[in-house]
A and B are shown apart, each in its own frame.
Chain A
Amino acid sequence: MARHDKDSAGSPVPISRRQFLHRSSTAVAGSMVIALVLPEGSSAGVAGADYDWDRHRWVYLIDTTKCIGCGSCVRACRAENSVPEKMYRTWVERYEIPVEAEAFIDSPNGGEHGFDPVATGLSVRKGFFVPKLCNHCSQTPCIQVCPVGASFATRDGVVLVDPEHCIGCGYCVQACPFGSRFINPETRTADKCTLCYHRITTGLKTACIQICPVGARRLGDRKNPDDEVIEILATQRVEVLQPELLTRPQCFYLGMDMEVR
């Protein structure tokens, strides 16, 4: 079946394959061209002409004052990265903090299908959503404990797992203080958010960032002098999760509260 343009009546009209491929390549920041022009598996080396990892240092910014808890990020991540059911590379937590009572926290299926209203039975004056993902720490406890060197960090600051080398011992899962990791039941290896490495190295945003309808999630690059996220980190008050553990997370939060776990 062919792709479709629209004729004057608004019905789809087939366009040629060449037209489609040409247009898609310009639309998607050249990534399609690269995918088609380069032979499978060569990728011109990580410091090749298309992407130089020494010229990037990725950070992530989450604005919890904007998150509406729609869960689109969780769905998008699952679809983009084939994340198995009941496992989460990213998730959204809801906090409802009543006056003079314990905070109510939940994350039904990681927030994947949104949230239902909850009756805490108390007067809730403060409520917000907190998206979470791997913090891509620069002093990870997870890479430290991997017995075989399957867990590693790229030079542009992304923490990854090598699923061909991982033996599935689960030590890294135990070592992550944020609960970001899991053992993938299909590959039987450790798995976690990859910061959509396959996307950010072609100029795209991560799936979760792209899909977010309110711009609660943002990608930053420390090596980009004009980067807006870096500007925010430099001028506004930001926090990280569990700072006392000194894992040096590279995922920063605006609008945090002391109740956030």
Chain B
Amino acid sequence: MFPELTGYLFPNDIHIHWSLMIVMYPYITGLVAGAFLVSSLYHVFGREELKPLGRFALATALCFLAVAGLPLLNHLGHPERGINIMITPNLNSAMAGFGILYASYFIILLLEVWFVFRVDIIDSATRSRGLKRQLFAILALGVYDTSPEARAIDRKIIRVLAALGIPMACLLHGYVGFLFGALKANPWWSTPLMPVIFLFSAMVSGIALLIVLYQIAMRLKGMPIDRSAISAMARWLWLFLIMSLTMELLEIMMLAYERAEEWEVIGHLLTHQLSFSFISLQMVGGGLIPLILLGIVVLMGGYMDDRIRNTLTMVSSLLLLLQVLAMRWNVVIGGQMFSKSMSGFRETYVPEMFAKEGILAALAIFFIPFVFLMIFEKVLPTFKHLES
């Protein structure tokens, strides 16, 4: 299927090297960052209304973090050499940050999860027999101290880890924005706003994910959906959405106003190749509509019936999950649909269904963290502390 080309493209520019996998990667790390923020709002800043979600958010962050490297490995020409990024990192390269940031953040998150669930691990260890007992004993590192003093120490450590984790999560996702934003060769990517836009839309996606999963989990368990938790998350979500949309629009407006060469290219992109994914999905369907719906929830929340609030936030969150994915697509794929000649375009890009970096691969990678989450729930329930 030969792509339709218009204008003049440099001969090597007709190929798109960064595929759907590179769209999935920032999407997944964004979900991690956003989920971790919600968890830290409780663990560090003491927002009690988010207590019902504190553990679930942590578990979600961990499960998604575990697969964050997969789309990258799948994309590399030589995944077996992927470890070179940690063996001989070129510290001038934003991409080299991946090795160090991913490893450090993984360690912090893993430790935090351990400290938060430690008492439950010990609990499960003492209550089970045989192999299960052995496994839990190993997880507990052979220490069965659940005294109030130990728990107090745990809480302090959790606070430190969660506090450390916030900048780490921001770096882990922000460096991707820097990776794009610092490329002077590509005018669609090159802007100082890029890391900030990425970060804010990451928060949007993470909070949206939690709202969706939390409501589903509560329905499945037959537990009530906590009103203040949903209200708080809707507020944070609305805030990050406003910031995110503002910056995305600001970038476009400035480019259009300055009418430099970039606008010739970007204007064409937005009205042709990205007209559906940018205007319809990112701005209107995924932007304006959730903005209104969430605005209603936040501003009229006090007078609202719980079911309406839950439904509005659910719909908004689903739309926002789609919106952030569209944003990643528009940046990654959009940035490759024009040539560096600034006078040629590739009019279509349709990812293949069965290709190595195709749609099914992306879906499979996205599916795995949910499986991990279900296993996590079985081993260490994240809502048990609410059942008393």
Q: Are B17 and A173 in contact (CB under 8 A)?
A: yes
**Residue of A whose beta carbon sits closest to that of B97:** A147
Q: How far is the CB of B355 from chain A (nearest CB, A)?
A: 13
Partner-contacting stretch, out of A41-49, A104-112, A200-208, A214-222? A104-112
Known contacts A145-B94, A148-B96, A179-B12; A167 and B84 CB within 8 A of each other: yes
Q: Are A168 and B183 in contact (CB under 8 A)?
A: no
Q: How far is the CB of B88 from chain A (nearest CB, A)?
A: 5
Q: What mask results when residues 224 to 261 of chain A are scored 1 for a CB within 8 Å of chain B, else 0?
A: 00000000000000000000010000000000000001
Q: Are A148 and B90 in contact (CB under 8 A)?
A: yes
Residues of A within 8 A of B95 (CB): 145, 147, 169, 171
Separation of A87 and B95 alpha carbons in the complex (Å)? 25
**Residue of A whose beta carbon sits closest to that of B95:** A147
Residue A135 CB within 8 A of the other chain = no
Separation of A179 and B87 alpha carbons in the complex (Å)? 29
Separation of A171 and B189 alpha carbons in the complex (Å)? 13
**What DSSP secondary structure best describes chain A's contact surface?**
loop
Q: Are B12 and A149 in contact (CB under 8 A)?
A: no
Residue A183 CB within 8 A of the other chain = yes
Residue A31 CB within 8 A of the other chain = no
Q: What mask results when residues 1 to 35 of chain B are scored 1 for a CB within 8 Å of chain A, else 0?
A: 00000001011110101100000000000000000
Residue A141 CB within 8 A of the other chain = yes
Q: Are B185 and A149 in contact (CB under 8 A)?
A: no
Q: How far is the CB of A43 from chain B (nearest CB, A)?
A: 22
Q: How far is the CB of A100 from chain B (nearest CB, A)?
A: 18
Q: How far is the CB of A152 from chain B (nearest CB, A)?
A: 9
Q: What mask results when residues 155 to 193 of chain A are scored 1 for a CB within 8 Å of chain B, else 0?
A: 000000000011111110111111111110001110000
Q: How far is the CB of B73 from chain A (nearest CB, A)?
A: 10
Q: Are A180 and B12 in contact (CB under 8 A)?
A: yes
Q: How far is the CB of A158 from chain B (nearest CB, A)?
A: 18
Separation of A144 and B10 alpha carbons in the complex (Å)? 22
Cβ-neighbour of A91 out of B11, B15, B92, B98 (below 8 A): B11
Residues of A within 8 A of B75 (CB): 169-170
Q: How far is the CB of A68 from chain B (nearest CB, A)?
A: 19
Residue B186 CB within 8 A of the other chain = yes
Residue B342 CB within 8 A of the other chain = yes
Considering only residues 165-192 of chain B, those with a C-beta below 8 Å from chain A are 179, 183-186
Q: Are B88 and A165 in contact (CB under 8 A)?
A: yes
A residues with CB within 8 A of B:
86-88, 91, 93, 105-107, 109-110, 132, 141, 144-150, 165-171, 173-183, 187-189, 245, 261
Given pairs A141-B184, A165-B81, A189-B78, 12 additional interface contacts (CB within 8 A):
A105-B341, A105-B343, A109-B11, A148-B96, A149-B88, A169-B76, A169-B77, A174-B18, A174-B183, A174-B186, A175-B183, A176-B185
B residues with CB within 8 A of A:
8, 10-13, 15, 17-18, 72, 75-79, 81-82, 84-85, 87-90, 92-96, 98, 179, 183-186, 335-336, 339-343
Can you sample 22 A-B contacts with CB below 8 Å? A91-B11, A105-B8, A105-B343, A110-B11, A144-B92, A145-B183, A147-B84, A147-B85, A148-B87, A148-B96, A167-B78, A168-B76, A170-B75, A171-B179, A174-B17, A175-B185, A176-B185, A179-B11, A183-B17, A188-B77, A245-B185, A261-B343
